[in-house]
Amino acid sequence: MTGSRIKTHVNGGILEITFDHPPAHAFDQQASRDLDAALTRLNEDPDLRVGIVTATGDRIFSAGWDLKAVAAGDSGEDFGPHGFMGLNRHDMLKPLICAINGLAVGGGFEFALFCQIVLAAPHVEFALPELARGFIPEAGGLWRAHRKLPSNVASDLLLTGRRMGVDEAQRLGFVNQVVPRDELMAEARKTAQAIISGAPLAVAALLEATRVTEVMSDQTAFETILAGLPARDRMRASDDFNEGPRAFAEKRAPRWKGN
């Protein structure tokens, strides 16, 4: 995307998405639309299996909404079909790994909460300071923080705007791994390759089922799964559904076709 704050690079089956608007990697309307377009590309291209999202530099992953642009008159909210930073989308069937290189504030933290796997450098901190700016983190942070962190910790972060260090975030289970900054992308690619070794339709079915059932009771979740879900139904009707058991019985690596 020439001239965009969002850079993309295809690395095998991985789409690497990089925020590139230093120093804060803040998002105006166009940057939000460009990020959403990159996520749509990942979701719809059958050759792409996993997304890695990171930023240039070492200081800030993203400060979220570009308040300087808002103060200068860019007060519109044409953020794209899936809202600010693509965070109001419920169709992703490809996993996202967030490789956080610096401070993740506001929308930057909200985007990390949106991802399935979070890797972070040792100096990373997270914060949701929206109340001090006169609004609330309504691009998903408000409820995703409560889902991915203990409720009292989420309330503390949301109400006080304090920064949460990476050690606390890992201890609470939000950050999967703390990785030296210069090894961050290598570790993210290693994780992506581990995901790619799985059957693509099964990965899609897992993300779909997780999203649909995450706030259901066990009984309702079972009923919903057994009643049928589009990605799960495609998985069960596919050649890959039989390839896994065949490969296991024949003591060989599976040969996934994605159909």
**Beta-ladder partners of 65:** 27
What distance in Å separates the CA atoms of residue 35 and residue 26, rounded to the nearest whole number?
Answer: 12
Q: Return all residues near 195 (Cβ < 8 A) that are at least 6 apart.
A: 49, 50, 95, 203
Check if the beta carbon of residue 117 is closer than 8 Å to that of residue 140: no
- Whether 138 sits among the annotated catalytic residues: the reply is no
Q: Closest Cα partner for 1 from 17, 25, 23?
A: 17
- Please classify residue 6 by burial: count the beta carbons closer than 10 Å to its beta carbon, then call 0-12 exposed, 13-18 middle and 19+ buried: buried
Question: Residues 16, 110, 125, 208: which is the catalytic one?
Answer: 110
The whole-angstrom separation of Cα 96 and Cα 118 is: 9
Annotated active-site residue 223? The verdict is no
Q: Considering the candidates 16, 125, 130, 208, report the single residue annotated as catalytic.
A: 130
Rounded Cα distance, 68 and 65, in Å = 9
What distance lies between CA 41 and its chain's CA centroid?
A: 14
Distance, in Å, from the CA atom of 50 to the CA atom of 97, rounded to the nearest integer, reads 8
The residues annotated as belonging to the active site are: 110, 130
